[in-house]
């Protein structure tokens, strides 16, 4: 039986016209709807520009870690977005810090605590998608130069999903011999750049130019562009013009407290002293090199600031400036004699605190937040800010709510690890440290920004310790690899601990 079309006696032609009109209107509505929905989803996601700086502590103007720090470009960038003034690495060592950041996993979950092995050698990271791989999978043009991962992993990972433009000579030129501190490897040196007095011959300058060139081009899809600078990592070399900014006789040394280590456990002291390749504080003072090394670090920072500026200026002058999220960060901090220590590989503020600022279209400007965040949060944050699904394996969290409101409620303290069982937690006011032997430290940053007074044995702060201790890792992967400075220091400290326990 045919369906009767209810046109209630209207002329058949008229009803036919009516049906055609209805059909056309319906079709037009569907097309318009599809256009609107499709139009929205077709708006390209933002580009990502990632700028990494190697071994930069809080000696920037914006973080005020040293009164003479000269970083006008990094500071100007921070003012265009959100500066995270309480940001920390998850490992105070190059490779594991970068592995943690690029996979959003803690060292305690991957076994990557020290300089070796590589990401691919962690069984826990089998099949895990790193940041550039994820952005490639989202349809991005992926490009990088310099130090983002460690050593060959830059070529292996970026080369696989996009373009790796090269390392342009990494830390080079390397010292022919250790000029002022005669211990291998040949990295520890500082002073005027020995090869030339022209910035354009330095690897970092060339990396900046490479990134500038990439930013000057057009792309038919969004890009993920990363530039990783090598300074101020040792050798702390910069050309003469950067040294001229910091006359040697005007150098201000970091503020230190005599007897600062007296309230630490023997294990904590062993961990920063045994088998380290960096100079000792005693050697620096005896050789009269402390001021010179501080000068060289300041000069190296001022130089790398200019390289960051080249890239940021190129973005500003490019058609991409209104659709690019920029993240500038350092991989961990650096001691310059504080706590009688040089370099990284400690669980104190000097080693853990990093520069981190995020800026982009609609992401706010001139904002600062003291909420504790980590490099581990960068990957989930970028996915969130670019509108992609989160990865359930990520252990970091998106910090976009802090960009929306820098004072938003934020309960999680941020964790840093130096070898299995040695962890620290930092919240807005406190740093709590627990070592593998059970010894503890607690510092109140409201009154003690240099972490001089260990309050861990004071019963008044028992609750603060327990609250932070709840964030210690429950299960910790065994340490992978062997033979790096971190491995050696950790092992030697464990052996001394065993000796002490046997003697008691």
Catalytic positions, written as ranges = 94, 150
What length is written for the chain?
504
> Which of 491, 161, 187 is CA-nearest to residue 342?
187
Q: Which residues pair with 83 in a beta bridge?
A: 357, 368
Q: Smallest gap, in angstroms, from Cβ of residue 258 to Ca ion?
A: 10
* 153 lies in the site for Ca ion, by CB under 5 A: no
> Which of 351, 369, 426 is CA-nearest to residue 78?
369
Q: Smallest gap, in angstroms, from Cβ of residue 292 to Ca ion?
A: 21
CA 253/CA 261 separation, integer angstroms: 19
Q: Which of 54, 153, 204, 395 binds Ca ion (CB under 5 A)?
A: 54
Question: CA distances (Å), 343 to each of 60, 169, 273, 337, 450, in order?
Answer: 17, 22, 11, 8, 16
> Which of 219, 431, 197 is CA-nearest to residue 333?
431
Burial of 134 (0-12, 13-18, 19+ CB in 10 A): buried
* 263 lies in the site for Ca ion, by CB under 5 A: yes
**Residue 500's CB: how many other CB atoms inside 10 A?**
13
Q: Which of 94, 115, 215, 234 binds Ca ion (CB under 5 A)?
A: 94
Interface stretch with Ca ion, choices 28-36, 63-71, 91-99, 127-135 (CB under 5 A): 91-99
Interface stretch with Ca ion, choices 44-52, 87-95, 383-391, 473-481 (CB under 5 A): 87-95
199 contacts 306 by C-beta, under 8 angstroms: yes
Q: Smallest gap, in angstroms, from Cβ of residue 229 to Ca ion?
A: 11
Q: Read off the DSSP letter of residue 98.
A: H
Q: Smallest gap, in angstroms, from Cβ of residue 94 to Ca ion?
A: 4
Q: For Ca ion, which is the closer residue by CB, 386 or 433?
A: 433
Interface stretch with Ca ion, choices 40-48, 52-60, 127-135, 431-439 (CB under 5 A): 52-60
Q: For Ca ion, which is the closer residue by CB, 331 or 340?
A: 331
Interface stretch with Ca ion, choices 17-25, 277-285, 325-333, 375-383 (CB under 5 A): 325-333
> Could you tell me which residues come within 8 angstroms of residue 102 by beta carbon, excluding any fewer than 6 positions away?
119, 130, 131, 132, 148, 149, 157, 379
* 55 lies in the site for Ca ion, by CB under 5 A: yes
Interface stretch with Ca ion, choices 8-16, 39-47, 182-190, 449-457 (CB under 5 A): 449-457
236 contacts 297 by C-beta, under 8 angstroms: yes
Q: For Ca ion, which is the closer residue by CB, 54 or 395?
A: 54
Radius of gyration of the chain (CA): 27
Letters for 210-249 (x = contact with Ca ion by CB under 5 A, - = none) are ----------------------------------------
> Which of 137, 173, 215 is CA-nearest to residue 383?
137
Q: Smallest gap, in angstroms, from Cβ of residue 85 to Ca ion?
A: 20
Q: For Ca ion, which is the closer residue by CB, 253 or 256?
A: 256
Nearest residue to Ca ion by CB is: 94
Q: Smallest gap, in angstroms, from Cβ of residue 466 to Ca ion?
A: 22
Q: For Ca ion, which is the closer residue by CB, 18 or 253?
A: 253
124 contacts 111 by C-beta, under 8 angstroms: yes
Point out which residues bind Ca ion (CB under 5 A): 54-55, 94, 260, 263, 331, 452
């Amino acid at each position: 039986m045919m369906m009767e079309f209810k046109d209630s006696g209207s002329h058949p032609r008229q009803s036919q016209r009516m049906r055609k009109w209805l059909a056309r209107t319906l079709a037009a509505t569907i097309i318009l709807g599809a256009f609107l929905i499709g139009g929205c989803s077709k708006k390209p996601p933002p580009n990502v520009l990632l700028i990494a700086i190697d071994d930069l502590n809080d000696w920037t103007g914006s973080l005020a870690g040293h009164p003479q720090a000269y970083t006008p470009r990094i500071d100007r960038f921070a003012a265009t977005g959100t500066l995270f003034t309480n940001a920390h690495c998850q490992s105070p060592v190059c490779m594991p810090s970068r592995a943690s950041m690029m996979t959003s996993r803690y060292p305690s979950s991957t076994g990557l605590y020290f300089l070796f092995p590589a990401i691919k050698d962690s069984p826990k990271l089998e099949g895990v998608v790193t940041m550039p791989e994820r952005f490639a999978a989202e349809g991005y043009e992926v490009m990088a130069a310099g130090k983002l991962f460690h050593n060959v992993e830059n070529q292996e990972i970026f080369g696989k999903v996009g373009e790796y433009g090269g390392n342009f000579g990494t830390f080079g030129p390397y010292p022919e011999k250790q000029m002022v501190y005669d211990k291998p490897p040949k990295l520890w040196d500082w002073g005027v750049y020995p090869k030339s007095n022209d910035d354009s011959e330095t690897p970092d300058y060339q990396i900046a130019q490479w990134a500038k060139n990439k930013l000057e081009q057009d792309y038919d899809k969004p890009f993920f562009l990363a530039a990783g600078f090598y300074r101020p990592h040792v050798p702390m070399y910069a050309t003469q013009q950067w040294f001229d900014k910091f006359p040697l006789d005007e150098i201000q040394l970091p503020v230190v407290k005599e007897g600062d280590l007296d309230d630490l456990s023997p294990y904590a002291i062993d961990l920063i002293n045994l088998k380290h390749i960096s100079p000792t504080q005693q050697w620096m003072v005896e050789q009269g090199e402390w001021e010179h090394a501080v000068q060289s670090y300041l000069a190296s920072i001022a130089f790398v600031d200019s390289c960051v500026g080249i890239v940021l200026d190129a973005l500003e002058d490019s058609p991409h400036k209104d659709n690019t999220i920029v993240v500038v960060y350092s991989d961990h901090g650096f001691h310059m004699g504080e706590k009688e220590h040089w370099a990284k590989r400690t669980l104190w503020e000097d080693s853990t605190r990093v520069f981190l600022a995020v800026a982009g279209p609609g992401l706010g400007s001139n904002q600062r937040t003291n909420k504790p965040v980590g490099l581990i949060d960068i990957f989930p944050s970028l996915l969130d800010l670019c509108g992609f699904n989160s990865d359930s394996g990520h252990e970091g969290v998106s910090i976009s709510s802090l960009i929306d409101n820098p004072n938003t409620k934020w309960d999680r303290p941020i964790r840093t690890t130096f070898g299995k069982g040695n962890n620290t937690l930092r919240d807005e006011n406190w740093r709590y440290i627990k070592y593998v032997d059970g010894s503890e430290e607690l510092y109140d940053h409201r009154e003690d920004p240099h972490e001089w007074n260990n309050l861990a044995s004071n019963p008044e702060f028992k609750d603060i310790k327990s609250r932070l201790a709840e964030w210690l890792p429950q299960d910790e992967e065994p340490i992978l690899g062997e033979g790096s400075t971190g491995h050696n220091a950790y092992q030697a400290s464990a052996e001394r601990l065993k000796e002490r326990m046997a003697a008691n």
